[in-house]
Chain A
């Protein structure tokens, strides 16, 4: 007997402010799981029509799954956040793509019919859990020369990107960093971040304070200021603190639902997950990961890059984004790319970042009703990339469907002649399990 996959929609997402990792950072005295509790409770508060008991899973990513990020974080956070005991949870890890992997895992549960509503997010307290700490590298890596030694130092992999793409200069990277800071500053000014960032009261050396602003913001950043920063990963290198994301503490979570559940519960569906892909690349060039991941996701979606109107890319290193731009033919200054700035300005708490990207993409969609498709993508240590293609549900659909291409299912008429499906997940069903699905009809997002 056949079974139909269900459309997965993104309802809402929220994050904490991002703090500087280490004793000087705003979250130094705050537990990692408490950051997660805060964003979960805020998400529920913002979506009162969601009865907590209807949440079928809480998936939380963390790269370091020990200490205050241990104890299968999703379940830990669910209980601490006061969700009913009946709501299960778990933890995932794909380093920087942790939160995006939480999203795709949740989407899988929903599409499969195992869940109707999932909370997916990530937490990384890099002050409490410095990168690579407690990692016991298998000596075979060295003994058998399985990976280049530079692969374990992310900054060194960024230097390797500069080596590989000599046309991408330090000046290009610095210029990108300046732009990221400027766009982030504008976003904070324009109230964008108020929609996404939840203020949190934290206890610190100076008593209580409210963490409501990213600590890495430097609106005054200039090319001159960046020019002479040290290059910690290589003498004479090109990667500096100014054109990379800092070490960050933070958490983010989003609410995913089956489309019909969202409709049933009156949840405003902002985006539909069209396709996603993960890809592997040379570990010492991990920053290239989003390139094949993007291509794969586009192919699965049956879309061309120029049909995407918005890109939310992580910015661990400016050069990493530049390589993606270079490979895919996107101008780094393009307004479609990271319109609210990126990790260079706000920081990159590894496993939390993916949901920050989706939250910004959802906001961008809402501001740009003319844009139909968008992308969230990031690179992952040890040589991977993640890319998710989303469809904007905050808009009336255009009269004509996009041209069909390979591997995409045939369009179906909605019946009323005005609504046509975008690409659907149908073709991801393993053959033999289900007959070729008829395409799902995403409903409009009028409730938004």
Chain B
């Protein structure tokens, strides 16, 4: 709409005798970009045409012969940013809170000049962050002051007289002959893009095409493309992307969440019960998260009951530490936090539950236990009190709850809540649960009282496929990679740790009881749940990625080059955490160790190898192919199949070929086959004796001991050792990360965790000691030196 009016106005703007042009929006909104409701089902032609029209229109604004100023008074998204960038200069309000290019989030790229003008204005680094990384981080947005700081605007102005001040600025521009200054030049574009691409790989594993395409466009913009060339490239990109599956699926999801969820189907008309007090049964990790959420969003009295006084104390400590974090962030003053803390009562009895209007149960997943809970609670509360369960899979009706309110872990972050309606759920109870979830700023979705509801049913099916692969000898890394290449944000092994294997196994049992064929039980998951990380391998028939994903193999999928070289010096996959010190408040050890145990188990299959030295490189390629495809003997075929199945078990390093085996016998067999093969081909190769991986020295037995994996890691730009520090709050973690960064350390911060890279174990240990020393006495600092495993820290959050 706004663009059409702009287009109508253009002839006048182009012909008239104007001093300057100021473009602004209605109050609080500059321009929120294109109307995405037109995007679903868009064809290539439509996308091309839409992009071209924008380029044409904005190009004309850019060509106006007098100063043009975009006065960004408020929300400025996507096309709004692009419009602003086609002006000579920009003012931005300190009150603006939404300045972003969300296109990549939606599976497309900015295609009205954004990918071309943003890097020209602010450089590659900022452009990558703004267009790609912020969008891919759940559509993170900039505030006015941040946008100004990053160079998007020429003036940062107070909202009170924003337009008047912007007009004055435009007059200034009109009066002074010097138009907007030189465009930004970035010397290290290739490097910035390369790094960004590798970060992106780590995040989406190639599954989302749009951000990669955006990187190409940004790189092009700073690599000599004219603006016209850039426009054409954007048009091509959006024409490719918009009709594609990824973009269409993203738009569908966006529409669901942004539009349809606002008028959700199945929401009863009944008046929700007024909530004055909340009861929470259970004080486990999930329950403590729930209590924190309730307290912050509802600010109501909360009675927590658990059989364990210790669990209650832990829960209270976790609530208090969250409140302290809010105070540190300036969200609450201390008094408010004190008041909120005073609203929480904990007890091993239900005595405080009198007067509760809603009680949520979050105890262990045992039907009888839950049934008992609801019987007891019902005796304490008034008739209209809504009794709800947070069960992840059990029957809400059978346990005697009024309604299911199923949260997801981590509770503070995940917006989805499954509301489970049983045959007995009253409209009032459901309406109350609905209003409750909304006050918690969650997105409730109505589901039926079916085993594991929706999310866990789908997730468990996925998990079962992964477990099946593991039980057939697939390496967890490979199984993870197969799933990650679907674009899921988290590897199954990590997710499993996060959910908690006990819960996961419980859900599987529930689903198995209901659908035994589709959900066979898994001994491996049972082992994890019992705290023993052993994979119950049933046969040695590793699944390929295609098998895991249940899709046809691509015709000529090539193995990744260079993998062998990395493998040569590769540490045994993710060795155990070298835990130097820990405190008992941490989550149970069994849960957090699973990833490690899984991997220790797998290490066995990597223990042996033979090396084949070939005279010329191309022979290696030929031979590799032959191993997979041309061996004729039965033994050879078996080995070839095995090698193929393992994908990585044959590797090439220049003129050397390596064949990996899980035992010495297997390695000897392989050696025989290879020698026979070489003889048949008349290749003058040398096949080594089987070599063994030396765990303690972390090298192959025939390799000189001097070259360590650590050096190799350093060569690749990775820190071989890491010190992990947990801080009591996100704020403090950020602070520590900044400090360490200033000291020259490479630092990664995840949530409250700071991971610091060091070059050696000694250095890691020294730093760990030092950081520990900086902690307050009795504080909650946990420090560990760990060889590269930032994700293990998430282990065991879910119960």
Chain A contacts to B: CB under 8 angstroms: 139-140, 143-144, 159-160, 162-166, 234-236
Given A139-B28, A140-B159 in contact, is the A236-B95 Cβ separation under 8 Å?
Answer: no
- Complex partner residue of B277 from A143, A162, A235, CB under 8 angstroms: A235
A215 CA / B299 CA spacing, docked (Å): 34
Chain B: CB-nearest residue to A150: B336
Tell me if B159 and A144 are in contact (CB < 8 A). Answer: yes
Tell me if B301 and A236 are in contact (CB < 8 A). Answer: yes
A236 CA / B338 CA spacing, docked (Å): 13
- Complex partner residue of B301 from A162, A163, A164, A235, CB under 8 angstroms: A235
Chain A: CB-nearest residue to B277: A235
Q: Interface size on B (CB < 8 Å)?
A: 19
- Complex partner residue of B339 from A140, A143, A144, A163, CB under 8 angstroms: A163
A143 CA / B75 CA spacing, docked (Å): 11
Tell me if A235 and B300 are in contact (CB < 8 A). Answer: yes
- Complex partner residue of A164 from B27, B335, B343, CB under 8 angstroms: B335
Tell me if B276 and A139 are in contact (CB < 8 A). Answer: no
Tell me if A140 and B301 are in contact (CB < 8 A). Answer: no
- Complex partner residue of B300 from A144, A163, A236, CB under 8 angstroms: A236
> Does B375 belong to the interface (CB within 8 Å)?
no
Minimal beta-carbon separation of B159 from chain A (angstroms): 6
Chain B: CB-nearest residue to A163: B335
A63 CA / B300 CA spacing, docked (Å): 33
Show 17 residue pairs from A and B whose CB-CB distance is below 8 angstroms, ordered by the A residue.
A139-B27, A140-B159, A140-B160, A144-B95, A144-B159, A160-B335, A160-B336, A162-B339, A163-B335, A164-B335, A165-B335, A166-B335, A234-B299, A235-B300, A235-B301, A235-B343, A236-B343
Given A140-B95, A143-B28, A235-B277 in contact, is the A163-B299 Cβ separation under 8 Å?
Answer: no
Minimal beta-carbon separation of A178 from chain B (angstroms): 23
> Does B366 belong to the interface (CB within 8 Å)?
no
Given A236-B300, A236-B301 in contact, is the A163-B95 Cβ separation under 8 Å?
Answer: no
For A165, list chain B residues within 8 Å (CB).
335
Minimal beta-carbon separation of B272 from chain A (angstroms): 15
For A144, list chain B residues within 8 Å (CB).
94-95, 159
A236 CA / B95 CA spacing, docked (Å): 34
Given A235-B276, A236-B342 in contact, is the A164-B159 Cβ separation under 8 Å?
Answer: no
A159 CA / B95 CA spacing, docked (Å): 29
A29 CA / B94 CA spacing, docked (Å): 49
- Complex partner residue of B338 from A140, A166, A235, CB under 8 angstroms: A166
Minimal beta-carbon separation of A148 from chain B (angstroms): 10
> Does B617 belong to the interface (CB within 8 Å)?
no
For A140, list chain B residues within 8 Å (CB).
95, 159-160
Minimal beta-carbon separation of A386 from chain B (angstroms): 24
Residue-by-residue, is B334-375 near A (CB-CB < 8 Å gives 1, otherwise 0)? 011011001100000000000000000000000000000000
A421 CA / B355 CA spacing, docked (Å): 63
Tell me if A163 and B159 are in contact (CB < 8 A). Answer: no
For B191, list chain A residues within 8 Å (CB).
none
Chain B: CB-nearest residue to A161: B335
Chain B: CB-nearest residue to A140: B159
A162 CA / B74 CA spacing, docked (Å): 36
For A160, list chain B residues within 8 Å (CB).
335-336
For A162, list chain B residues within 8 Å (CB).
335, 339
Minimal beta-carbon separation of A141 from chain B (angstroms): 11
Residue-by-residue, is B569-581 near A (CB-CB < 8 Å gives 1, otherwise 0)? 0000000000000
Minimal beta-carbon separation of B279 from chain A (angstroms): 13
A143 CA / B28 CA spacing, docked (Å): 8
Given A140-B95, A235-B277 in contact, is the A164-B300 Cβ separation under 8 Å?
Answer: no
Minimal beta-carbon separation of B510 from chain A (angstroms): 36
Residue-by-residue, is B251-282 near A (CB-CB < 8 Å gives 1, otherwise 0)? 00000000000000000000000001100000
A63 CA / B27 CA spacing, docked (Å): 29
For B159, list chain A residues within 8 Å (CB).
140, 143-144
For B338, list chain A residues within 8 Å (CB).
163, 166
Given A139-B28, A144-B159 in contact, is the A235-B299 Cβ separation under 8 Å?
Answer: yes
Chain A: CB-nearest residue to B337: A163
| Known A163-B335, A235-B301; further 16 A-B contacts with Cβ < 8 A | A139-B28, A140-B159, A143-B95, A143-B159, A144-B94, A144-B159, A159-B339, A160-B336, A163-B336, A163-B339, A164-B333, A165-B335, A166-B335, A235-B343, A236-B342, A236-B343
Per CB-CB distance, the 7 closest pairs between chain A and chain B, nearest first, are A163-B335, A164-B335, A144-B95, A236-B301, A235-B300, A163-B339, A163-B336
Residue-by-residue, is B152-163 near A (CB-CB < 8 Å gives 1, otherwise 0)? 000000011000
For B335, list chain A residues within 8 Å (CB).
160, 162-166
For A159, list chain B residues within 8 Å (CB).
339
For B336, list chain A residues within 8 Å (CB).
160, 163
For A235, list chain B residues within 8 Å (CB).
276-277, 299-301, 343
A164 CA / B276 CA spacing, docked (Å): 23
Chain B: CB-nearest residue to A282: B333
A140 CA / B74 CA spacing, docked (Å): 11
A165 CA / B159 CA spacing, docked (Å): 34
Minimal beta-carbon separation of A37 from chain B (angstroms): 41
Residue-by-residue, is B298-309 near A (CB-CB < 8 Å gives 1, otherwise 0)? 011100000000
A227 CA / B300 CA spacing, docked (Å): 19
For B343, list chain A residues within 8 Å (CB).
235-236
Minimal beta-carbon separation of B465 from chain A (angstroms): 47
A257 CA / B346 CA spacing, docked (Å): 63
Residue-by-residue, is B511-523 near A (CB-CB < 8 Å gives 1, otherwise 0)? 0000000000000
For B74, list chain A residues within 8 Å (CB).
143
A32 CA / B338 CA spacing, docked (Å): 43
Chain B: CB-nearest residue to A144: B95
For B339, list chain A residues within 8 Å (CB).
159, 162-163
A235 CA / B295 CA spacing, docked (Å): 11
Minimal beta-carbon separation of A172 from chain B (angstroms): 15
Question: Which residues, 323 to 339 on B, are CB-close (under 8 Å) to A?
Answer: 333, 335-336, 338-339
A205 CA / B343 CA spacing, docked (Å): 44
A144 CA / B27 CA spacing, docked (Å): 12
For A139, list chain B residues within 8 Å (CB).
27-28
A160 CA / B299 CA spacing, docked (Å): 13
Minimal beta-carbon separation of B451 from chain A (angstroms): 36
Minimal beta-carbon separation of A286 from chain B (angstroms): 15
Minimal beta-carbon separation of B343 from chain A (angstroms): 5
Minimal beta-carbon separation of A317 from chain B (angstroms): 15
For B342, list chain A residues within 8 Å (CB).
236
Residue-by-residue, is B457-474 near A (CB-CB < 8 Å gives 1, otherwise 0)? 000000000000000000
A312 CA / B79 CA spacing, docked (Å): 61
Chain B: CB-nearest residue to A142: B28
Chain A: CB-nearest residue to B345: A236
A236 CA / B336 CA spacing, docked (Å): 13
Minimal beta-carbon separation of A363 from chain B (angstroms): 37
A160 CA / B333 CA spacing, docked (Å): 10
Question: Which residues, 59 to 76 on B, are CB-close (under 8 Å) to A?
Answer: 74
For A166, list chain B residues within 8 Å (CB).
335, 338
A234 CA / B300 CA spacing, docked (Å): 8
Minimal beta-carbon separation of A159 from chain B (angstroms): 8
A140 CA / B158 CA spacing, docked (Å): 11
For B160, list chain A residues within 8 Å (CB).
140
Chain A: CB-nearest residue to B95: A144
Minimal beta-carbon separation of A424 from chain B (angstroms): 40
Minimal beta-carbon separation of A235 from chain B (angstroms): 5
Residue-by-residue, is B696-734 near A (CB-CB < 8 Å gives 1, otherwise 0)? 000000000000000000000000000000000000000
